[in-house]
């Protein structure tokens, strides 16, 4: 067990002394949880294999699922990748710092364990002053998966990090809630056309507009579990983002959805289950369950993205047995939200009609 130290830190003007202490832990092979604009990350020195193994152990993450490596300046890529294609340069100029992770062929200097034995590496530059200050102070790339225990919803606050990893991490930099709430978009540039492996903070529509040609990996948009041959990103094959409660997602037209959600509430309540509803603002008034929570407006996927993971954790702390979640449109950040909801439910999806 480690003694986890929590530093409250100003998200806009991080205290250099606290950043220095956290950076020293990274340089000595320790683990530091820090905020990004998407979710909190669990950071370790990307060039220290022992620290990376400890990071996997802390999360109980399967060793075949590599973390994203974070950088604070484009020059850091020289140490990490074989070459930077011109398409990548343009994307980095436009979207970095920000919630876009790019997949490159990695250089020989990168330890095997950091990339889980793959010949590719996932890299991003986060848009958060605390993350950037930590990266600049260590002056090296930091590998950082989301700072949750494997399989759990990603952490959007320091309290979420502590509830999963207290005693397993040296420092938590607590800068309050993250702004985007779902993880970065993972874009594979080693294939042509580029392919989105995980929808996230940069919407598909923005990448399509910028690149003209970009594909969505079938797993990213699937409403059913897909066979393993189709899985190109290691993380896509694991059950993820899951609350302890069972979950069902109800998708379809407004009226059919509210009708079906109410049928499910009655059915499970009669069986003695404690039922929670994760609904859109427009429909909340139609539901009477043990716990009813607002994901956000149907017309505002950004609010749904920001609220999603925290609300799933809240249902767990209320000891809800079953969460019934309404689907939202697959547009903008809605695609990332639905990808997380469907996976969290284990693809337990009801099409209401």
Residues that bind Mg ion (CB under 5 A): 146
CB of 352 to ligand TXA, least distance (A): 30
Judge whether 253 and 218 are in contact, CB under 8 Å.
no
Tell me if 144 contacts ligand TXA by CB under 6 A: yes
Q: Which stretch binds ligand TXA (CB under 6 A): 97-105, 134-142, 165-173, 265-273?
A: 97-105
Tell me if 36 contacts ligand TXA by CB under 6 A: yes
DSSP one-letter code for 66: P
The pattern of x and - marking residues 184 through 223 that bind ligand TXA according to CB under 6 A reads: x-x----------xx-------------------------
CB of 181 to Mg ion, least distance (A): 13
What is the Cα–Cα distance from 171 to 295, expressed in whole angstroms?
A: 31
Q: Out of 85, 151, 225, 234, which residue is the one contacting ligand TXA (CB under 6 A)?
A: 234
Among ligand TXA, Mg ion, none, residue 198 binds (CB under 5-8 Å by kind): ligand TXA
Residues 237-276 that bind ligand TXA (CB under 6 A): none
Tell me if 235 contacts ligand TXA by CB under 6 A: yes
- In which residue are the tokens 């302890």 written? 244
Tell me if 41 contacts ligand TXA by CB under 6 A: yes
Q: Out of 14, 66, 155, 301, which residue is the one contacting ligand TXA (CB under 6 A)?
A: 66
Instruction: Extract the tokens encoding 6.
Output: 């929590």
Tell me if 280 contacts ligand TXA by CB under 6 A: no
| Main-chain dihedrals φ then ψ at residue 216, nearest 5 degrees | -105, 125
Tell me if 11 contacts ligand TXA by CB under 6 A: no
CB of 231 to ligand TXA, least distance (A): 9
Residue number, 127 or 260, with CB nearest to ligand TXA: 127
Judge whether 105 and 82 are in contact, CB under 8 Å.
yes
DSSP one-letter code for 106: B
Among ligand TXA, Mg ion, none, residue 234 binds (CB under 5-8 Å by kind): ligand TXA
What is the Cα–Cα distance from 41 to 330, expressed in whole angstroms?
A: 26
Counting residues that bind ligand TXA (by CB under 6 A) gives: 28
Q: Out of 23, 32, 68, 77, which residue is the one contacting ligand TXA (CB under 6 A)?
A: 68
CB of 275 to ligand TXA, least distance (A): 30
Residue number, 125 or 349, with CB nearest to ligand TXA: 125
Residue of minimal CB distance from ligand TXA?
235
Tell me if 118 contacts ligand TXA by CB under 6 A: yes
- Those residues whose C-beta lies under 8 Å from the C-beta of residue 87, and which sit 6 or more positions away, are 189, 194, 211
DSSP one-letter code for 227: -
Tell me if 333 contacts ligand TXA by CB under 6 A: no
Instruction: Extract the tokens encoding 213.
Output: 């040609």
Residue 135: name the closest of 264, 5, 45 by CA.
45
Residue number, 122 or 245, with CB nearest to ligand TXA: 122
Among Mg ion, ligand TXA, none, residue 138 binds (CB under 5-8 Å by kind): none
- Those residues whose C-beta lies under 8 Å from the C-beta of residue 198, and which sit 6 or more positions away, are 101, 183, 184, 185, 186, 220, 233, 235, 236, 336, 339
Residue number, 18 or 128, with CB nearest to ligand TXA: 128
Instruction: Extract the tokens encoding 269.
Output: 């309540």
Judge whether 181 and 306 are in contact, CB under 8 Å.
yes
Q: Out of 97, 141, 145, 194, which residue is the one contacting ligand TXA (CB under 6 A)?
A: 145
Tell me if 312 contacts ligand TXA by CB under 6 A: no
- DSSP H helices in the chain: 16-27, 49-59, 77-80, 86-95, 129-138, 158-165, 204-211, 218-221, 254-270, 301-317, 334-344
Q: Out of 72, 138, 179, 233, which residue is the one contacting ligand TXA (CB under 6 A)?
A: 233
> 55: number of CA atoms within 13 Å, CB side?
35
What is the Cα–Cα distance from 274 to 139, expressed in whole angstroms?
A: 50
What is the Cα–Cα distance from 153 to 299, expressed in whole angstroms?
A: 23
């Amino acid at each position: 067990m480690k003694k986890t130290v929590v530093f409250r830190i100003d998200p806009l003007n991080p205290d250099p002394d606290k950043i220095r202490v956290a950076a020293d832990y990274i340089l000595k092979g320790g683990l530091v949880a820090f905020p990004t604009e998407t979710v909190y990350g669990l950071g370790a020195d990307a060039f220290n294999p022992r620290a990376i193994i400890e990071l996997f152990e802390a999360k109980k993450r399967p060793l075949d699922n590599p973390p994203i490596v974070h950088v604070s300046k484009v020059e850091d890529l020289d140490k990490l990748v074989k070459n930077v294609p011109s398409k990548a340069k343009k994307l980095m100029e436009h979207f970095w710092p920000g919630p876009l992770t790019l997949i490159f062929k990695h250089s020989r200097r990168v330890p095997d364990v950091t990339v889980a034995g793959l010949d590719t590496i996932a890299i991003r530059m986060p848009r958060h002053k605390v993350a950037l200050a930590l990266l600049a102070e260590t002056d090296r790339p930091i590998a950082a998966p989301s700072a949750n225990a494997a399989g759990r919803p990603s952490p959007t606050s320091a309290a979420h990090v502590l509830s999963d990893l207290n005693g397993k991490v040296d420092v938590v930099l607590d800068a309050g809630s993250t702004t985007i709430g779902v993880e970065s978009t993972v874009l594979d540039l080693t294939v042509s056309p580029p392919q989105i492996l995980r929808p996230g903070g940069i919407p598909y529509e923005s990448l399509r507009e910028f690149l003209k040609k970009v594909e969505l990996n079938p797993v990213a948009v699937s409403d059913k579990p897909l066979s393993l041959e189709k899985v190109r990103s290691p993380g896509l094959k694991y059950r993820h983002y899951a609350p302890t409660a069972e979950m069902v997602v109800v998708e379809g037209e407004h009226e059919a959805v509210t009708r079906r959600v109410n049928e499910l509430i009655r059915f499970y309540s009669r069986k003695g289950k404690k039922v929670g509803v994760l609904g859109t603002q427009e429909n909340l008034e139609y539901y009477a369950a043990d716990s009813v929570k607002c994901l956000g407006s149907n017309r505002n996927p950004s609010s749904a993205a920001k609220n999603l993971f925290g609300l799933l954790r809240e249902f767990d702390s209320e000891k809800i047995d079953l969460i019934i979640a309404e689907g939202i449109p697959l547009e903008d950040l809605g695609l990332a939200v639905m990808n997380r909801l469907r996976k969290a439910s284990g693809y337990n999806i009801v099409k209401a009609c």
